Amino acid sequence: MNPQLVHYLVLSAVLFSIGFAGAVTRRNAIVVLIGIELMLNAANLNFIAFWRFGAHPEALTGVMFVLFSIAIAAAEAAVGLALIIAIHRQRHTTQVDQMDSLKG
């Protein structure tokens, strides 16, 4: 049988969980950002799968949402990496557990 909607949704859920685990556990801020990007990609995969298997694929809603989401992800990655570079310049670290100056 052809891959069904369930297959894509399960793949997306597993990908989201992998990205979440990495974003929560890794110490390096850049790897945390990669994990966030993986989670964003899992959400995009959900949009595309629901668009493809939905009742009105000709409306192109899922495709449009993913295109805008990719553009926003690009902006987010640029700003996030600039923040990491700025923090590295100030604090000489990219480990997220050493960025604790707001800790009470």
Options 55, 100, 102, 103; binder of another protein; rule CB under 8 A = 55
Instruction: For the CB of residue 94, give the shortest distance to another protein in the complex, in Å.
Output: 5
Q: Is 95 helix (H, G, I), strand (E, B) or coil?
A: strand
Options 20, 43, 99, 104; binder of another protein; rule CB under 8 A = 20
Q: Is 28 helix (H, G, I), strand (E, B) or coil?
A: strand
Residue with token string 């995969």: 45
Q: How many whole angstroms separate alpha carbon 70 and alpha carbon 7?
A: 23
Q: Are 56 and 63 in contact (CB under 8 A)?
A: no
**Taking CB under 8 A as the rule, does residue 82 contact another protein?**
yes
Q: Looking at beta carbons only, is 56 or 104 nearer to another protein?
A: 56
Options 58, 100, 103, 104; binder of another protein; rule CB under 8 A = 58
Q: How many whole angstroms separate alpha carbon 56 and alpha carbon 43?
A: 20
**Taking CB under 8 A as the rule, does residue 6 contact another protein?**
yes
**Taking CB under 8 A as the rule, does residue 51 contact another protein?**
yes
**Taking CB under 8 A as the rule, does residue 74 contact another protein?**
yes
